[in-house]
Amino acid sequence: MIVTIDPTTGDVIERIPPMDPAQIDARLDAAASAARAWGHESFEDRAALLRSVARRLREENGSLAATAVREMGKPIAQARAEVEKCAWALDYFAEHGAAMLAPQDAPSNAARSYVAFRPLGVLLAIMPWNFPYWQVFRAAAPALVAGNAVLLKHAANTTRCALEIARIFDDAGAPEGLFGVLLARGEEIDRIVEDPRIAAVTLTGSERAGAAVAAAAGKALKKCVLELGGSDPFVVLADADLAAAATTAVKARFQNNGESCIAAKRFIVEAPLYDEFLRRFVELAAAQVVGNPMEERVQIGPCARADLRDTVHQQVSETVAQGARAALGGTVGDGRGFFYDPTIVADVVPGMRMFDEEVFGPAAAVVRASDREHALGLANHSSFGLGSSVWTRDVAGAEDFGARVEAGAVFVNGMVASDPRLPFGGVKKSGYGRELSAFGIHEFVNIQTVWIA
């Protein structure tokens, strides 16, 4: 039985039976059948469906947001913004998908030669709980406009969000089987990945989950895109706008309860600004309102699960025991729910848990850099390479600095965020492949060479 739990109270929300093998097989059949037909639909018809789904997301924004809050605990205002972002992505790919997938001339010794982009078939999307709508739609929107069908295996604790997404597609008039949900157990994933009706796989999740799915996809010789964890550096150089950096640092770390792969996690500050940045960072973080995420004023809700909160607390406690200093928080919330107080740990160095590991919750590590080159070395001293943020008044210098940062994205004087117009993904143990933009849409098509004598 799939059991969903309200992280604000610890109470059970629903008990939902998983699918048996016959039900999973039927979903695979329906998706394969839908993909064969959908791949021959015009771009105009594909775009029309995406726009219809976007309209329904906007019409039901409030109820969809509340479902996400109940299942994973993000503040309600942020949940509404997430639903709207999904609608934006659908509209974006509806408008630009045809141009992204238009044949491209490739002159050769042929009378005519060009590159065409053909659908692959059924995409299996294995998605996490932390952005229960956005993670799904940022994979589904480009895949669908490219002519593929999508089967979603969502995180168990956001099962109702998954079912709501499927309902929205049905209400929008999607062909039967084009977007489906698999209520499958984790141990069934390898079999599903290897099933011949699955053409490719995309996963957003942990390093461990990514390695397991990549192994299954590799065994079956299937395309796979992985967006995994991150320990993003937020580098504040000595000539930075300190007020802007500190203000953005709070949002970059604590938005979505700190449970984001692209949240800033290691705050690396050049020595001349270190003490003042830390003071401002602590003051602003302490002012964050923690509480019931259904309340509009709340900025930080509970961690999504008790084990996630406990892991963050262990990372903080062990980092302090290793010689760092708790400048704020470091305590488990009182009462019901999986709350963890906003936490800032200062004087963190490599070798400590909060430097070496991804911290998936409302806790920040602040690191002192002796100079710019030391800051760069600290930023790259990580097994992850998803996003990064650099703060300086020297924009030209920042571009040179960013060119040497080992990450899939570098944001100068801004917070890392995903955007349908820009490719998104990482290097090192943050995964491979790209989502969003033309780069993302081309991940799940057959890039076909056409040569005509």
Residues carrying an active site annotation = 227, 261
Residues contacting residue 310 through CB under 8 Å, at least 6 positions apart: none
Q: Interior CA angle at 107 toward 105 and 109, to 5°?
A: 145
Pick the closest to residue 69 from 79, 60, 56, 61 (CA basis).
79
**Inter-CA distances, 234 with 89, 346, 451, Å:** 27, 14, 48
As given in the structure block, the two tokens for residue 313 are: 């607390």
